Amino acid sequence: MAPTLSSANLILAFFALLTSSRAAPSPSVPAETAVPSSKTAAGAPLFHSETLQLTDGVLTKLNLQNNTSLFAFGSNSSSSKLSLGDSGACKVFPGDSEWPSTSTWSLFDRLLGGALIETVPLASSCFSSWPEYDSAQCNLVSNNWTDSNLHAADPASIMWPLYEGRTCLPTDDTSGTCTVGGYSKYAVNVSSVAQIQLAVNFARNTGIRLVVKNTGHDFNGKSTGAGALGIWTHNLKDIQYLENYQDTYGIVTSIISRVHPKVGVTTSTFSFSTGGNVTVDTFWAGVRAYLDRFAINADAGTYAYFWVMSTGTNSFSFLMNPYFAVNHTVSEFNALMKPWFDELNHLGIPYTPDTKYHDNFYDAWDAVFPLETVASSTMVTGSRLFPRANWEDASLLNETFNALKTTVTAGYPLLAFNMKAELPEGYPESSANPAFRQTLMHAITSASWTANSTNTQILNQMEHFANNVLGIWRKTCPEAGAYMSEANILEPNFQQSFYGSNYERLYQLKQKYDPSGLFYAPTGVGSEDWTVKSQDGLPDQNGRLCRV
């Protein structure tokens, strides 16, 4: 969602804070050379940031003497700090004798052109033990802690501090404890390909952990890690329109996508609940009537984002927020919804749709989709991609409905999406989870605990949620999968759930092109070869990353 004025000011304020307190100016000699923008196999000119590259020639000219090996390029056959066979070996960690010296980090920063940022936790302004202590700044952070824009604009912060280790949370207790914990130790504020190359080479050659933080969407801490060097790509942004384009090529610092004609969108929001003449059974009959039409609605090219939740004892609520009907007028939307709305009317369920037409996709999306709420440290999420097959068999559809009803009745909320993502005819297969191609519903639920819960209690809750609560969903479609970025961190057999039949080939490619395991992320391809020795015993990134 486009930032509001207040969130935009918030982002600017924090960026000013970051640049003023974290990246002190120093003499720099950027290790880069400019290549022609036409020097690419992508069929499109390079962006300026992509023309600035690191080469062996650049390293030679810098005359780094004994430090050249720190920034040299590697190869699939070259040795590294952690070879594939080093069972139990760990990434180099702060305090280790092999951890780069202060002068080495300074040299690295100069080669980056002053782009190295030492991590200061976002909430450090709330703690008197930090030089950044500032009560006004603490209030700003506290009041906006659940705003995803706040965390996206920080080089180290993540959407879900639970997976960092909860080591520095906003508080009124200025004498509390705040540590860097599972956040990356340093981050590179990337503005060129050369800086990415330097960071990758430096992490590989020193044996320290490497993480990548972009502006993407992930709940499970993939962009953080204790003692890591982060590549922060948030400010690496540009766009160019190519009127004529005939080819494409996979590249890592920009992508080429097709521009589609402007389309109209009808959006609608509404809700209904138990109460009055709407009994619990009547409420669920209304929900079931909607579930029965998932295939019809998805095949019509529409998309829905809705909640079903318990609001008390024998009290439930349904919230459509929003229904998103691309290429539909209001009358076409009403015609599509009529069978369900007629059933709601027959059941005596009151509802009042707020339906509007927008002449373009962006305005529709901006008007109705809520801002992502993030930064919980007392909640875990999990999800499932329910396939079309669950709607094609009456018995299986009943089982699916009962599984969802059981979840909500037990007090776990349901956030779901009626959608389809079939592979268009003529398009090649990709590494996307094949489960997406069969999906009619992406469903999410969550479990919570109190802020004073012990680590043992939290882990027990997380394991119960992963195995029992989500287990009911998996039982209805064991061969399906889950959307990795919103899935459960303890998902059993994550390889099948997140990657499906692609996993074996992806794992082989990972071993071929990254034999030293430089690119690690929890539940990422090859992550089963590693373990984080978490300091609190929870599945977070606050600890050494070691070979299994």
**What's the rounded mean pLDDT across residues 364-368?**
95
For the question of whether the overall pTM of this predicted structure is more than 0.75, the answer is yes
Question: Is 17's pLDDT higher than 70?
Answer: no
Residue 78: what pLDDT? 54
3 state SS of 324: strand
**What's the rounded mean pLDDT across residues 67-78?**
82
How far is Cα 463 from Cα 424, in angstroms, rounded to an integer? 38
> Would you say the C-alpha torsion 105, 107, 112, 114 has a positive or negative sign?
positive
The highest-confidence range among 26-30, 192-196, 369-373, by mean pLDDT, is 192-196
Residue 12: what pLDDT? 40
Residue 76: what pLDDT? 64
Confidence of residue 250 (pLDDT cuts 50, 70, 90): low
Residue 86: what pLDDT? 63
Residue 7: what pLDDT? 39
Name the residue with higher pLDDT: 518 or 7: 518
Strands (E), 327-438: 354-358, 379-387, 414-418
Question: Is 14's pLDDT higher than 70?
Answer: no
Phi, psi of 67 (to 5 degrees): -100, 0
Residue 489's CB is within 10 A of a number of other CB atoms, namely 21
Q: What is each CA distance from 33 to 58, 85, 125, 256, in whole angstroms?
A: 7, 36, 39, 24
Question: Is 337's pLDDT higher than 90?
Answer: yes
**What's the rounded mean pLDDT across residues 9-24?**
40
Quick: pLDDT tens for 87-118. 679 999 999 999 999 999 999 999 999 999 99
Confidence of residue 18 (pLDDT cuts 50, 70, 90): very low
Q: What is the mean pLDDT of the chain?
A: 91
Confidence of residue 453 (pLDDT cuts 50, 70, 90): very high
Name the residue with higher pLDDT: 421 or 240: 421
Residue 132's CB is within 10 A of a number of other CB atoms, namely 18
Residue 252: what pLDDT? 62
Q: Please name which of 376, 381, 387, 378 lies closest in space to residue 445, comparing C-alpha atoms.
A: 381
Residue 20: what pLDDT? 37
Quick: pLDDT tens for 178-210. 999 999 999 999 999 999 999 999 999 999 999
Query: Which domains does the chain carry?
Result: 5-70+96-232 (no CATH), 265-503 (3.40.462.20), 505-547 (no CATH)
**What's the rounded mean pLDDT across residues 350-377?**
93
Residue 9: what pLDDT? 43
- The answer to whether the beta carbons of residues 318 and 418 sit under 8 Å apart is no
| Token pair 């079309």: residue | 388
Confidence of residue 393 (pLDDT cuts 50, 70, 90): very high
- The residues that bridge with 441 in the sheet, in sequence order, are 386, 418
The answer for residues whose C-beta is within 8 angstroms of residue 275's C-beta and 6 or more apart is 315
Residue 260: what pLDDT? 79
Residue 27: what pLDDT? 55
What is the dihedral angle through the alpha carbons of 403, 405, 407, 411, rounded to the nearest 10 degrees? -170
Quick: pLDDT tens for 467-485. 999 999 999 999 999 999 9
Q: Which helix (H) or strand (E) holds 305?
A: strand 302-312
**What's the rounded mean pLDDT across residues 364-381?**
91
Residue 240: what pLDDT? 82
322 prior amide bond cis, ω within 30:
yes
**What's the rounded mean pLDDT across residues 320-345?**
98
